[in-house]
Amino acid sequence: MYLSPSIEEKYEVLAKLSEGGMGAVYKVRHRLLDEMRVIKVILPQAGPSLEMRERFLREARAASRLSHPNVARIFDFLVDEAGQQLLVLEYIDGLTLKQVVAFSGPLVQGLVVEIARQALDALEALTKAAWFTETSRRTT
């Protein structure tokens, strides 16, 4: 992964965590604070699309207004010298749901219900934050 010199001065890339249709997610270490973070980057093939860039910015604005136990905190939103957008998030150590199922097998119904409840709580909070962001943007 390429990060501009100004970003690499601040963060050391430790690992690529995932990649999807819109971007890639990397585990990084803040060089001065010695704290783990996650950087989400729009992939180069998604970058030229104005719609994708605006979607990424809306995601950052909505999430920045949110404090919820089931949503990673946003620390920063950056646009580097080349115009690449990066979202710096809280790193949460743990297993993915896929890893838990692979390790322990099918989940019991009560745990499935609790995971779904927490995910829906987070989705509701994000939806409200996104609505607030869109509404306030239209009125200014």
Does residue 135 surpass a pLDDT of 60?
A: no
Does residue 2 surpass a pLDDT of 80?
A: no
Please tell me which residue, 128 or 115, carries the higher pLDDT value: 115
Does residue 120 surpass a pLDDT of 90?
A: yes
Both tokens of 85, joined, read 């957008």
Binned at pLDDT 50, 70 and 90, residue 132 comes out as: low
What integer pLDDT is reported at residue 20 of this predicted model?
84
Distance from C-alpha of 72 to C-alpha of 27, rounded to nearest angstrom: 13
Count Cα atoms within 13 angstroms, Cβ side, for 18. 7
Please tell me which residue, 6 or 67, carries the higher pLDDT value: 67
Three-class DSSP category at 123: helix
* C-alpha separations of 70 from 16, 79, 117 in Å: 22, 26, 10
Which of 50, 51, 3, 52 shows the shortest CA–CA distance to 23? 52
Binned at pLDDT 50, 70 and 90, residue 133 comes out as: low
Both tokens of 11, joined, read 């963060």
Please tell me which residue, 84 or 114, carries the higher pLDDT value: 114
Distance from C-alpha of 47 to C-alpha of 84, rounded to nearest angstrom: 7
Please tell me which residue, 41 or 131, carries the higher pLDDT value: 41
What integer pLDDT is reported at residue 103 of this predicted model?
95
